[in-house]
Amino acid sequence: MPYKQLLFTCYGGCATGVAASKALIRVWEENQGEVKIGCLPAIIVPAKLKEIKKSEKHLLVDACSVRCGSRLMEREGMTVDRYLELTSELGIKKQKVLPPQELEEKVYQLIRKEVDTLLGKE
C-alpha cells in the first residue's frame, strides 16, 4: 500500500542521527496511515525501489555533512521532496554521543514541520 509520505534517515551513530531516528518514529506514531519510515538501504533492491516510488512524497534526513543517505539516493537515481542535513540546519558539529533531550526536541520539531508541510497540514 502506498503511503502519502515515506520518511528516510541515515540512522547515523551520532547525536543528530539518534535524534532523527527517534523523531521519525514519533512522527510515524502521530501520523499512522499517512506516513511510514522507509528502509533506506532497501532502495538498492529493484523490487523494493519500485514499491518505494509508489508513495506520494519522500523526506530524507541526513545526520551530518557526510550525506550518506543523499549519496545513496543519488546513486540509485531517486529524488526526494524534502531534504534535511541536520548538523548544517542546526548549526552544530557532529558528536558521537547520545543526544541530550533538548537536541532530540529540536530535531523532532524540525522534522515534524517538514512532514506537516508535505502533508499539507501547515
pLDDT digits (tens, 9 = 90+) for 24-50: 999 999 999 999 999 999 999 999 888
Which pLDDT does position 1 carry in this prediction? 62
CATH number for the domain harbouring residue 76: 3.40.50
Domain count, the chain: 1
> Domain limits at 26?
5-119
Distance CA(49)–CA(38), nearest Å, equals: 10
Whole-model pTM above 0.85?
yes
pLDDT digit string, tens, across residues 112-121: 999 999 999 8
Scored b (16 or more CB within 10 A) or e, 74-89 reads eeeeeebebbbbbbee
* Owner of C-alpha cell 499512522: 32
Give helix then strand counts, H and E, for the chain. Answer: 5, 4
Which pLDDT does position 58 carry in this prediction? 96
Distance CA(79)–CA(103), nearest Å, equals: 28
Which pLDDT does position 49 carry in this prediction? 87
Whether 70 has a pLDDT exceeding 90, the answer reads: yes
Q: Are 122 and 101 in contact (CB under 8 A)?
A: no
